[in-house]
Chains A and B, each alone.
Chain A
Amino acid sequence: MTDYLIEAKNLSKKFPGVLANDNVSLTLEKGEILALLGENGAGKSTLVKMIYGLYGSDGGELFIKGQKVEFHSPAEAIAKGIGMVHQHFQLVPVMTVAENIVLGAEKTKGIKFDLVAAEKEVTELSIKYGLEVDAKARIEDLPVGMQQRVEILKMLYRKADILIMDEPTAVLTPQETDELLKVMQGFAEKGVGVIFITHKLREVLAIADRVVVLRNGKVVGTTRPKDTDQEGLATMMVGRSVVLDVKKDLANPKNNVLQVKNLNVRDDRRLPAVKDLTLEVRAGEIVGIAGVEGNGQRELVQAITGLRKIDSGTVVINNEDVTKLSPHKIHELGVAHVPEDREKDGLVAAYSIADNSVLNRFDEKEFSKAGVRQIGAIRALATKLVEKFDVRTPSIDTSAGSLSGGNKQKLVIARELIWGPKLLIAAQPTRGVDVGSIEFIHNQIVAARDAGSAVLLVSAELDEVLGLADRVAVMYAGRIVAILNQKDAERNKVGRLMAGGDVN
């Protein structure tokens, strides 16, 4: 027996109707960074959740540091030195950094919780690992990069020597990502074993010692970065060769479709979110908005689509002032909207695919006569959408909620594109979507552009914006800080702008 930190043997996990993990075996050594790669639904999260005690397993054995274990809760995994940084931060927003870090492992003074000692310890710990944070700051006041530090410190406070990181770079700027990768390497040098879940191939190649690829709940291969490249990894993930770069011709922009002028919008907390923003999108071009999430992109999209009240400024679509129009009126002007949260805003989960395919056009003559729904026409449309956009479903009567993430997204995109909108607003169109579907969705967006639509793309994935957009608008703190042509939009430069820096 070598000194593996983790040795998983033939782990299996069943969910109703799915075998999420099928005889998965895996090892992690001391000081190793192991990348876990796979499409959505491949079983990466399920696997690490079993290791972390969030799920029980339905078969197989798990050894931690040579000892056979069977976890029933994260508390038991934590006691064995396992720490997990979740994709959605598991932090209590209204509590302070120190309170969050010690939560569950608090020290007490008499019957009192010892906050002073906690703050001192947290500060010491953060200095020791070079992850400086203000122990007294409230989580909700911190930027995401900072919050992630708190998550990591939480694990270090519990003396974790096995660190599981679930898509830690998804919410970071390129610079923050580089910093995090360095921190992870630092941990590895100190002997900590790191399991790194990501779908960003570049990062895997940059820092992983070993890569394990999962597909449909099975391990399909193990490789080392030096033996492969991005295309090789993508092929292993998807099981067929994938074109990663978006293929498209030069844009041929025509008349202005969307004109946003001096727009000011507030967020849910009534704070200014979009500040004096001016932007134009022309027919036949894709304008991509790059920016770290939370810099006003959501509010901008909601303002344009009529979902959020505009404080001042104007939005003009095809020479018509839509500033005060309802979302439905704006839709009737030829605007399609792919919302960033398909579960909440894009689909009605309990409705069938057929009913979901007319959510935006239910009252058009074709689908509704004298207030009576034209079931035949609706079903015909749904069938067409499913076929043309490759939505994988048993039937059009299946409820939308039971589709996989990628298929839900394809259904939304299909519904929004099928009627040839003049303006497409696509927010995070490939979030949580597998590589194969990303390729498809990207091609559809380019096709819409080539058919003459104006496209406004908002994405937190910088690579997506850089790959798709003809012009890149960088958004920071509610403002467009730069608009670059695709050929000038160099990764590092855009990254610096996203973080509020200047070009030089």
Chain B
Amino acid sequence: MLDFIKDNRKPVITLGLVTVIAYVFYFLDEIKTTSVLVFGWGYAVPLVLAAMVGIIGERTGVVNIGIEGQMLMSAFASFFGSVITGNIYIGMLIGIAAGLIMGGFLAVAAVKWEMDQIIAGVVINIVAAGLTSFFYAPGKTLPQLVPVVSIPILSDIPLIGPVFFRNGIFALATLFIVLAVNFAIFKTRWGLRSRSVGEYPSAADAAGINVTRVRMMNVTLAGALAGCAGAFLALEAAGTFARGLTAGRGFLALAIMIFGAWNPLGALAAALFFGISTAIASQLQADEVINIPQQFVNLLPFVMTLIVLSVAVGRVRPPAAAGQPYTKEG
């Protein structure tokens, strides 16, 4: 535990600080604080999941700008999968499978064929937007809603309980996914090898690690997380599918990845920051404390992205080989 805090000082401090502030407000106004945090975490969940996709990719040396498209495709697949099969759980699996396939597509294009990674990602986004618009059928509804699950004991904690531990499946899983990805990247053999591939592929190659295989595998598997994010958006958050449902979240996630310094916990903290500030802005709007058009409030995350990136870039260091295809000589 102590080691964990020592290894992740910044995210732990940020999260701790947010918690303390949240509790202060909680005592001032229980209902509003809870609703702001619920909204904030709901906003953060797909961003966190999508940021994990970006982190796993870039830590392994592959820039994934197609997260947006991967999510959109998965949202589409999970929604219509649910509608057609009449079962949201099968729909979830279909959504995750769609994410895996989209991840595999990027892996083949960017790693195996050594296509420019940015172009491969843009292709994914365009293809996803096109396909999901074309096959979109309006007027469909989910056969059932995603049930809310409460984790015993944890969900009884005031404030934190209802916000984090009384949720749909994906929102609940997200916290554990972040911890698992963090552990895997920094504490396992897979993580050490993946990072070496993302930092200095020829060194990994010389040490007998199959760079192409590691990249293919990681990019594909990360697609499953994009699948989770998409399924969350369609099934849990919106409860429906609409054209362009992801609304730029895939790109926002990349900003969060950078703000979190390519660190899963950092990304979690960054996404919470985005989510909660958006929630606060909406709340202030609703309370008529501030009176600006809703469009400007919706703009907030992107304005923050600009500010955050201009501050963060140059201070944090990306994985050295991110974006560079690895060609074996000979």
Q: Which residues of A pack against B, CB within 8 Å?
A: 13, 49, 54-56, 73-75, 78, 84, 86, 88-95, 99-100, 103-106, 108, 111-113, 154
Distance in angstroms from B195 CB to nearest chain A CB is 7
Residues of B within 8 A of A105 (CB): 207-208
* Cα–Cα, bound, A73→B210 (Å): 9
Among A55, A56, A93, A154, contact of B200 (Cβ-Cβ < 8 Å): A93
A-B contact pairs, 29 of them (CB 8 A): A13-B330, A54-B328, A54-B329, A73-B210, A74-B206, A74-B208, A88-B202, A89-B203, A90-B200, A90-B202, A90-B205, A90-B206, A92-B195, A92-B199, A93-B320, A94-B317, A103-B192, A103-B193, A103-B203, A103-B204, A103-B207, A104-B193, A104-B207, A104-B208, A104-B209, A105-B208, A106-B192, A106-B193, A154-B207
* Cα–Cα, bound, A56→B330 (Å): 7
Q: Which residues of B pack against A, CB within 8 Å?
A: 187-189, 191-193, 195-196, 199-200, 202-210, 317, 320, 328-330
* Cα–Cα, bound, A287→B200 (Å): 37
Given A103-B192, A103-B204, A106-B189, CB of A95 within 8 Å of CB of B199: yes
When the two chains form their complex, are residues A111 and B206 in contact, meaning their CB atoms are under 8 A apart?
Answer: no
Distance in angstroms from B74 CB to nearest chain A CB is 28
Among A89, A104, A106, contact of B204 (Cβ-Cβ < 8 Å): A104
Distance in angstroms from A185 CB to nearest chain B CB is 25
Most chain B CB atoms below 10 A, which of A84, A90, A91: A90
Among B187, B191, B193, B199, contact of A93 (Cβ-Cβ < 8 Å): B199
Given A55-B329, A56-B330, A95-B199, CB of A111 within 8 Å of CB of B188: yes
Interface of B is mostly: helix
Distance in angstroms from A160 CB to nearest chain B CB is 12
When the two chains form their complex, are residues A99 and B200 in contact, meaning their CB atoms are under 8 A apart?
Answer: no
* Cα–Cα, bound, A56→B320 (Å): 28
When the two chains form their complex, are residues A84 and B206 in contact, meaning their CB atoms are under 8 A apart?
Answer: yes
Among B196, B208, B320, B330, contact of A49 (Cβ-Cβ < 8 Å): B330
Among A54, A95, A154, contact of B330 (Cβ-Cβ < 8 Å): A54
Distance in angstroms from A187 CB to nearest chain B CB is 19
Interface of A is mostly: loop
When the two chains form their complex, are residues A94 and B199 in contact, meaning their CB atoms are under 8 A apart?
Answer: yes
Most chain B CB atoms below 10 A, which of A49, A75, A92: A92
Among B187, B204, B206, B208, contact of A113 (Cβ-Cβ < 8 Å): B187
When the two chains form their complex, are residues B329 and A113 in contact, meaning their CB atoms are under 8 A apart?
Answer: no
Most chain B CB atoms below 10 A, which of A54, A74, A100, A104: A104
Residues of B within 8 A of A54 (CB): 205-206, 328-330
The 7 residue pairs across chains A and B that have the minimum distance between CB atoms: A75-B208, A104-B207, A55-B330, A90-B203, A90-B206, A104-B208, A92-B200
Among B196, B202, B209, contact of A95 (Cβ-Cβ < 8 Å): B196
When the two chains form their complex, are residues A91 and B208 in contact, meaning their CB atoms are under 8 A apart?
Answer: no
* Cα–Cα, bound, A13→B330 (Å): 9
* Cα–Cα, bound, A111→B328 (Å): 30
When the two chains form their complex, are residues B202 and A113 in contact, meaning their CB atoms are under 8 A apart?
Answer: no
* Cα–Cα, bound, A108→B189 (Å): 7
Beta-carbon nearest neighbor of A99 in chain B: B192
When the two chains form their complex, are residues B203 and A91 in contact, meaning their CB atoms are under 8 A apart?
Answer: yes
Distance in angstroms from A167 CB to nearest chain B CB is 15
Distance in angstroms from B317 CB to nearest chain A CB is 8
Beta-carbon nearest neighbor of B198 in chain A: A92
Given A56-B330, A95-B195, A104-B193, CB of A112 within 8 Å of CB of B188: yes
Residues of A within 8 A of B320 (CB): 93-94
* Cα–Cα, bound, A55→B328 (Å): 9
Residues of A within 8 A of B205 (CB): 54, 74, 90
When the two chains form their complex, are residues B200 and A91 in contact, meaning their CB atoms are under 8 A apart?
Answer: yes
Beta-carbon nearest neighbor of A76 in chain B: B208
When the two chains form their complex, are residues A86 and B199 in contact, meaning their CB atoms are under 8 A apart?
Answer: no
* Cα–Cα, bound, A291→B261 (Å): 36
* Cα–Cα, bound, A78→B328 (Å): 17
Beta-carbon nearest neighbor of A75 in chain B: B208
When the two chains form their complex, are residues B187 and A92 in contact, meaning their CB atoms are under 8 A apart?
Answer: no
Beta-carbon nearest neighbor of A57 in chain B: B330
Distance in angstroms from A88 CB to nearest chain B CB is 8
Distance in angstroms from A493 CB to nearest chain B CB is 36
Residues of B within 8 A of A91 (CB): 200, 203
Beta-carbon nearest neighbor of B203 in chain A: A90
User: Besides the contacts A13-B330, A74-B206, A88-B202, what 18 more A-B pairs have beta carbons closer than 8 Å?
Assistant: A49-B329, A54-B205, A54-B206, A56-B330, A73-B208, A73-B210, A74-B208, A86-B206, A90-B202, A93-B320, A94-B199, A95-B192, A95-B199, A104-B193, A104-B209, A113-B188, A113-B189, A113-B191
* Cα–Cα, bound, A495→B199 (Å): 34
Beta-carbon nearest neighbor of B186 in chain A: A113
* Cα–Cα, bound, A89→B203 (Å): 8
Residues of A within 8 A of B329 (CB): 49, 54-55
* Cα–Cα, bound, A452→B271 (Å): 65
Residues of B within 8 A of A100 (CB): 203
Residues of B within 8 A of A99 (CB): 192
Residues of A within 8 A of B204 (CB): 92, 103-104
Distance in angstroms from B327 CB to nearest chain A CB is 12
* Cα–Cα, bound, A13→B204 (Å): 24
Among A75, A103, A111, A154, contact of B196 (Cβ-Cβ < 8 Å): A103
* Cα–Cα, bound, A103→B191 (Å): 11
Residues of A within 8 A of B210 (CB): 73, 75
Given A54-B330, A73-B208, A104-B209, CB of A112 within 8 Å of CB of B203: no
Beta-carbon nearest neighbor of B209 in chain A: A104
* Cα–Cα, bound, A111→B330 (Å): 35
* Cα–Cα, bound, A67→B164 (Å): 61
Beta-carbon nearest neighbor of A20 in chain B: B330
Distance in angstroms from A86 CB to nearest chain B CB is 6
* Cα–Cα, bound, A73→B328 (Å): 10
Distance in angstroms from A64 CB to nearest chain B CB is 16
* Cα–Cα, bound, A251→B122 (Å): 62
When the two chains form their complex, are residues A90 and B207 in contact, meaning their CB atoms are under 8 A apart?
Answer: yes
Distance in angstroms from A171 CB to nearest chain B CB is 16
Most chain A CB atoms below 10 A, which of B189, B205, B320, B329: B189
* Cα–Cα, bound, A111→B188 (Å): 6
Residues of A within 8 A of B191 (CB): 113
